[in-house]
Amino acid sequence: MNPYALLFLVAGLGVIAWLTGRARAARFGAASKHRLHSLPGQHGLYVAMWTVIPALIFVVAWSIFTPSLATDAVLKAPQASALPMFGYERDAILNEVRARAAGGDYGFYPLAEQLAPVYLQASRFYGWLGTGLAILLAFACGAFAYTRVKADFRARTRVERTVMLALLVASLIAILTTLGIFLSLLFESLRFFAMVPITDFLFGTLWSPQVIDPADPGATLGAVPLFWGTFFIGAVIAMLVAIPFGLMSAIYLTQYARPAVRQWMKPLLEILAGVPTVVYGYFAALTVGPAIRDLAVSLGFTYASSESALSAGLVMGVMIIPFVSSMADDSIAAVPRAMRDGSLAMGATTSETIRRVLLPAALPGVVAGVLLAVSRAIGETMIVVMAASGAANITANPFESATTVTKQIVDLLTGEAEFDSPKTLAAFALGLTLFMITFLLNIVALRVVKKYREAYE
């Protein structure tokens, strides 16, 4: 059955449940001498919730798992032995099977044409099975709830508690996601470290994933050049751009600019943060990269690349200006006005007040902003993927190419590698490293902000 129709049916059952529950409660109320604890409508709601919610959860879960079950059925069919073991083609054929089962009649693979009816049949079977089970569940739970409706039954509290539970579950998704990220990264990384010793990975200086020696995969999977590149592009070059511009912009906007100017200037700067990173990357590749190469050549560097670290770092720095500016702005504005007045009343100029009183007072907030900006920069993917190359060098020359952790993750995963090779799993190891570093930076930054906020409250 069509999942939408099923949902509709369950909803309809819920309405019926509400009506019957309410009616029953009303009967009790009329018959008994005491007043009901909760309104008949709330009793009805209670029955309806029991009818709908378990069935709903079941339907959602079932429809998530049905495609895999149906795919399994396809894989068990005799014709499936002709499928390639892994890779793009396998995925494409399976996709086409699904598309044909959904009603499309246009495709490339004859194999898919054969397998489609199998998928369709399995899918239909599971669909009807799921429908039956869902309806059964709805009835069973609804009946259970119905029997509990009595005069002294505390329906209202139950309903309220369920709503609270739903809200709590929604909030828990955040924890679940964090856990999910950490666990999935950890799991795959452990598989990686079973093949490649962790010391080779963390301290090796040769990164060349195209040539992996099966006997000693760790020899060409040393991530130090990646760590260096990420640091060089993200924490050095980008920050050299973002911190001065961001900080001075914040100072100008909070201390010098007229309120009318600040009102449109601030959103204008924030637009910089809203430009999609892919656009920045394209801009870097199209305009900035070649310009810098020309500059480098004119300065005498003959081996300059148009995919230089400077090009990527510069554009990344521009993107991050609003992050630094925004945090600095908030921190400086949070310094009590009394500080500023006290300094000015002593005959200090505005710049002296800023440099000697406001900035030192706002420093924790500014530092936290910088840390968060660094975290953003080293996690940035799109700009480096488009503007930097894959050359894993360890160089301090900004006109040369360097690569970052994020770009390598992308490179390792696009392509036809199977899921279990050291190459693919290396992406997860890199991801885990990146996650832990940014996590640490964020925690430190948030702690600094928290301590600083306490000082002023």
Q: Which of residues 82-121 bind other proteins (CB under 8 A)?
A: 91, 94-95, 98-99, 102
Which of 16, 26, 272, 359 is in the footprint of other proteins by CB under 8 A? 272
Binders of other proteins among 300-319, rule CB under 8 A?
318
Report d(CA 293, CA 297) in Å as an integer.
Answer: 6
Rounded to 5°, angle at Cα 296 from 294 and 301: 125
Query: What tokens were used for 40?
Result: 């008949």
User: How many CB atoms neighbour CB 76 within 10 A?
Assistant: 10
Rank residues 40 and 369 by Cβ distance to other proteins and give the closer one.
369
Contacts of 412 (CB under 8 A, 6+ apart): 209, 423, 424, 426, 427, 430
Three-class SS state of 207: strand
Which of 348, 359, 391, 394 is in the footprint of other proteins by CB under 8 A? 348
Binders of other proteins among 176-205, rule CB under 8 A?
177-178, 180-181, 184-185, 187-188
Binders of other proteins among 44-83, rule CB under 8 A?
64-65, 67-68, 71
Phi, psi of 393 (to 5 degrees): -100, 160
Which of 78, 214, 274, 300 is in the footprint of other proteins by CB under 8 A? 274
Which of 15, 57, 198, 275 is in the footprint of other proteins by CB under 8 A? 275
Under the binding rule (CB under 8 A), the answer on residue 287 touching other proteins is yes
Under the binding rule (CB under 8 A), the answer on residue 276 touching other proteins is yes
Question: Do 354 and 331 touch, CB atoms closer than 8 A?
Answer: no
Under the binding rule (CB under 8 A), the answer on residue 352 touching other proteins is yes
Which of 310, 321, 332, 392 is in the footprint of other proteins by CB under 8 A? 321
Query: What tokens were used for 34?
Result: 């005491």
Report d(CA 375, CA 123) in Å as an integer.
Answer: 45
Which of 173, 190, 198, 202 is in the footprint of other proteins by CB under 8 A? 173
Report d(CA 38, CA 156) in Å as an integer.
Answer: 6
Q: Which of 235, 229, 165 is nearest to 377 (CA)?
A: 235
Under the binding rule (CB under 8 A), the answer on residue 286 touching other proteins is yes
Under the binding rule (CB under 8 A), the answer on residue 237 touching other proteins is no
Task: Tell me which residue has tokens 């050095």.
Answer: 236
Query: What tokens were used for 318?
Result: 């521009």
Under the binding rule (CB under 8 A), the answer on residue 281 touching other proteins is yes
Report d(CA 282, CA 384) in Å as an integer.
Answer: 10
Q: Which of 371, 430, 378, 367 is nearest to 237 (CA)?
A: 378
Query: What tokens were used for 343?
Result: 């300094």
Minimal distance, residue 24 CB to other proteins, in Å:
30
Minimal distance, residue 442 CB to other proteins, in Å:
5
Rank residues 20 and 311 by Cβ distance to other proteins and give the closer one.
311
Which of these segments, 17-25, 51-59, 202-210, 238-246, binds other proteins (CB under 8 A)? 238-246
Give the N- to C-terminal CA distance of the chain in Å, as an integer.
60
Which of these segments, 18-26, 79-87, 298-306, 353-361, binds other proteins (CB under 8 A)? 353-361
Q: Give the total of residues touching other proteins (CB under 8 A).
A: 111
Question: Do 197 and 177 touch, CB atoms closer than 8 A?
Answer: no
Task: Tell me which residue has tokens 């509990």.
Answer: 148
Task: Tell me which residue has tokens 């801009």.
Answer: 283
Mask for 416-445, x = binds other proteins (CB under 8 A): ---x-------xx--x--xx--xx--xx--
Question: Do 301 and 219 touch, CB atoms closer than 8 A?
Answer: no
Rank residues 259 and 300 by Cβ distance to other proteins and give the closer one.
259
Which of these segments, 106-114, 128-136, 145-153, 371-379, binds other proteins (CB under 8 A)? 371-379
Under the binding rule (CB under 8 A), the answer on residue 414 touching other proteins is no
Which of 58, 109, 125, 252 is in the footprint of other proteins by CB under 8 A? 252
User: How many CB atoms neighbour CB 267 within 10 A?
Assistant: 10
Mask for 148-167, x = binds other proteins (CB under 8 A): ----------------x-xx
